[in-house]
Structure 1
Amino acid sequence: MKPSPKLRILEIAKNRFYRQGYFHTGINQIIRESGTAKASFYDHFPSKQSLGVQVIRAYGVDVLVWFRNILRKSKTPNDFIREMTDAILKQIHGDESYYQGCPIAIFSCQFPVGEMPFSEEFKRIVLRWESLFVMTISKWKEKGYLRSHSNEMELARDLITLYEGALINWRISLNEDYISRVFDQMKERLKLETKR
């Protein structure tokens, strides 16, 4: 069964905003490529900005699911490093997609800091990431893999920062050393919290 016009528009917009950028993608291109009528587009998305917000939300779900799958398989901090390594390398070397880095980071860099309504969406996404990481880190603490006085939020933010920073620098330089180094950096950061 053919997806609804709204879903077709959203999928084309997700793809085009990721590959071409928000400002280099026109509504007419999205309408044409999604095979929808202009009136149908505006029934679902009153403006390009409202479409942009929906795309951010969709990216947020995609990345949250990606993180959740990695963290679900990560029974220990060492499992996390292994799972994260496999997942990142699969993305940057995968044939099935043209990977340019985290879609949230790429999209957010196209707008001035604090630009509404996009900024609020980005903040909500990062809060969900932090919450997910904190839950996993808490489990690691309960099981005795990390010191009892480890600060879950600080560790969550450090791991997210290392991930996003490595991808941004890889994207800027096309130097895979940033990707290789991030795994060692995550190990070092986790080692600081490991029981001795």
Structure 2
Amino acid sequence: MASRGRPLTFDPDAALQRALEVFWERGYEGTSISELTRAMGIASASIYAYFGSKESLFRQVMERYGATAGAPPRNALDEHSTAREAIHAMLRATVDQITRPDAPHYCMLILAAPTGAIENEPIREFLADIRRSQLSAIRDRLRRGIDEGELDASECDVDAVARYYATIVQGLSIQARDGATLAELESIVTGAMAGWSALTTRA
């Protein structure tokens, strides 16, 4: 974030929240600086002076997103005593977040910049890194299940199971964007968890 020499004439926190809403609605490439200035209520010069480039602003937006809408699914992995309960809670929290009535029905990590111009590759890689960290978090929770005796290391392919449930998370977001209802998404979660035993005891 750039240093500021004059007193601010706007609330940076409120401006960042409005920027998040625009990026969430339109995606990274679909959002222009002019749309951001209108939504944030500040001049483009103030955006560049305080937040940096559009890319820098988006990275700050995603940090905020991760601390708000992205937090419940991540926290669910640590808040339950068994790996199965933790994974189930993560999926349920994902469904809750992507069907909120006050926000677009998709996860920004999945769909804010899935494709686009080559000059925006750093943003796509930035989001991919966060998704990889989610995969690692799921993998770590499964390994904890092994350490605690819930899962058998000789039968559970931790990487395969982690990738399966990470794929379910990503698929839920696409289904929600395409109009799937809360009940339909919950049925996906039910189906995904029905396969838990087969997934975690396969040699």
TM-score range, shorter chain: 0.7 to 0.9
Q: Flag structure 1 segments of 5+ consecutive residues without an equivalent.
A: none
Q: Flag structure 2 segments of 5+ consecutive residues without an equivalent.
A: 1-7
TM-score norm. by structure 2 comes to: 0.76
> Cα distance 1:51–1:182, how it changes in 2: closer, same or farther (>3 A)?
same
C-alpha separation in 1, matches of 2:121 and 2:43: 28
SS of equivalent residue, structure 1 residue 144? coil
Structure 2 match to 1:40? 46
C-alpha separation in 2, matches of 1:194 and 1:146: 8
Q: CA deviation at 1:126?
A: 1.8
Q: Deviation per CA, 1:126-163, whole angstroms, max 9, x where unpaired?
A: 22112211221111111221112223222211111012
| One-letter amino acid of the counterpart of residue 128, structure 2 | K
Structure 2 match to 1:193? 200
Structure 2 match to 1:77? 83
Residue 171 in 1 paired to residue 185 in 2?
no
TM-score norm. by structure 1 comes to: 0.78
Aligned partner (choices 145, 148, 154) of residue 153 of structure 2 = 148
Structure 2 match to 1:126? 131
Q: CA deviation at 1:115?
A: 4.2
Structure 2 match to 1:183? 190
The percent of aligned pairs where both chains have the same amino acid is 25
Residue 51 in 1 paired to residue 85 in 2?
no
C-alpha separation in 2, matches of 1:194 and 1:113: 42
Structure 2 match to 1:138? 143
C-alpha separation in 2, matches of 1:123 and 1:114: 16
Q: Which moved more, 1:122-131 or 1:26-35?
A: 26-35
| One-letter amino acid of the counterpart of residue 101, structure 1 | Y
Q: CA deviation at 1:168?
A: 0.8
C-alpha separation in 2, matches of 1:19 and 1:174: 17
